[in-house]
Structure 1
Amino acid sequence: MLTVDFDRFPVPAGCRLLDLGCGAGRHSFEAFRRGADVVALDYSLDEVGGVNAMLAAMALEGQAPAAARAAGVRGDALALPFADATFDRVIIAEVLEHLPADTAAMAEIARVLRPGGWVAVTVPNRLPEQVCWSLSTAYHTVEGGHIRIYRQSELRERLTAVGLEPIGTHFAHALHAPYWWLRCLVGVHDDDHPATRLYHRLLVWDMMRRPLVTRLADRILNPVIGKSIVLYLRKPEVARAVG
């Protein structure tokens, strides 16, 4: 399930892309399919291992152009192991809300992005996230969990402050918001509750079949209860003073 819209965030073949906090690798896999040279970075060795295994399988099965390259690496978002202006594209999806030093990570993104490069940033949308926090303390107090809820204006200002220019935004995954509200109501760690299992089956059906009725519902509801907000930004060709 992609949160970044690759129609709005063009990833041409041969571009260098960093998937920062790649997790299970969903955006890395799509970029690799499109022919990008992908670095999938995560702090978790387990996640990196799983992503590398899938990337290798994709290459073996011809699911990516032969010239494309991809690898998972372990790294820290606050001290990226790359030179300045290394990447043409950076994706950081559902990561910043976990980081105490979020502005330090934003500065690192701006540093490794080349002038003219694009970045896609996704975080939980404010209203659905507030509902989750209100319904369940366990939702956001687990180790490594969400430590803040962003206002869109606040997120935009912080990213602008490190030298990035906003160029577009949208919301995503409206149908997923009620699923998390349900989980918060019945027990966020209860994977076997009948209500959440039934709703999960609906989400899987939607992702696999993409029927018109749920696609329309998602489009209509996204501006209201979209689970994630997605910001697209660009690093200016001529760097401006940051401060």
Structure 2
Amino acid sequence: MAYSDSYFTARESWRDWRIEARQLMDLARVSNGTRVLEVGCGGGGLLRLLSARGAMAVGVDTLETALELARGRDRSGYAAAKQPRKPDRSALVRIGADGALPIRAGAFDAIVAQHVIEHLPDAGAALCEWNRVLKAGGRIALATPNAGYPDPAHFADGDHARVYSVGEVCRVVEKAGLVVESVSTIFPFLSRFRVLRAAGVIAYRVFENLPYFAARGRTILLSARKP
């Protein structure tokens, strides 16, 4: 997949992207004054939402084109997503492919990563680095595709290094020294049920907690704490 300016701008208008973003912020307990690192900030859409909550946010990415968009060269994505233009309280940093963060240890209250770890050749090493810059008691919230989703073709992307199951993502997070506090899946597979699919968000929320669907949602949401 080509991660271009148009991709980053378009995705901020997607309903499912906005649902994930809100849930990640809730899981990370983001509020006014929270120091938040977003890993893989893309075009800056989630940074904008973090700033709107009053967070002091830093976004890092390996793609210069994404950071250029996030710096404000094209704000059309925010208009499409109907986000309020509040004062921006975020900063941006480009990182290398090795994922090393030029940030002191314990600098952040929270870290969010929306569809990042599936792209990393060594997610375990990256999580250890995220753990390093997180303060004691701080939280990580991440979203990633679910290998248990019944339609794996949905995740066809040459840039994916690995798609994790619920159990696998829990293990890699715990191995990095973090304590998993919650894990769930959202957007259950309803393609065989046309009427339910048409109901959209309402159907998702009703069915994602039922036993059959609970581990089969399209996206895994996980929160973990640094001891």
Instruction: Give the TM-score range, shorter chain.
Output: 0.7 to 0.9
Partner of 1:195: none
Q: Distance in 2 between matches of 1:103 and 1:9?
A: 20
1:22 matched to 2:41: yes
Partner of 1:157: 171
Over 3 Å counting, the alpha-carbon distance change for 1:156 and 1:125 in structure 2 is same
How does 1:58-77 map onto structure 2 within 5 Å?
A: 63-64=85-86, 69-76=89-96
**What do the CA deviations read for 1:210-237 (whole angstroms, capped 9, x no partner)?**
xxx422211134352422101001111x
Report if aligned partners of 1:97, 1:123 keep a CA contact under 8 Å in 2: yes
TM-fit CA distance, 1:152:
1.3
**What do the CA deviations read for 1:159-217 (whole angstroms, capped 9, x no partner)?**
11221111112222347x85xxxxxxxxxxxxxxxxxxxxxxxx9xx9xxxxxx42221
Q: Distance in 1 between matches of 2:208 and 2:161?
A: 23
In structure 1, give the amino acid aligned to 2:218.
K
TM-fit CA distance, 1:26:
2.8
How does 1:1-243 map onto structure 2 within 5 Å?
A: 1-2=17-18, 3-4=20-21, 5=23, 6-53=25-72, 63-64=85-86, 69-76=89-96, 78-128=99-149, 131-133=151-153, 139-140=156-157, 142=158, 145-174=159-188, 213-222=199-208, 224=213, 225-236=216-227
Aligned residue-pair number:
192
Q: Post-superposition, which runs of at least 4 consecutive aligned residues in structure 1 deviate over 4 A?
A: 54-58
TM normalised by structure 2 equals 0.74
The answer to which structure has the higher helix fraction is 1
Report if aligned partners of 2:187, 2:218 keep a CA contact under 8 Å in 1: yes
In structure 2, give the amino acid aligned to 1:63.
R
Over 3 Å counting, the alpha-carbon distance change for 1:55 and 1:230 in structure 2 is farther
The residue matched to 2:127 in structure 1 has which SS?
helix
Over 3 Å counting, the alpha-carbon distance change for 1:72 and 1:55 in structure 2 is farther
**What do the CA deviations read for 1:45-91 (whole angstroms, capped 9, x no partner)?**
01011112179998xx9733x5x621222113621111111111101
Q: Distance in 2 between matches of 1:8 and 1:44?
A: 26
Q: Distance in 1 between matches of 2:27 and 2:123?
A: 25
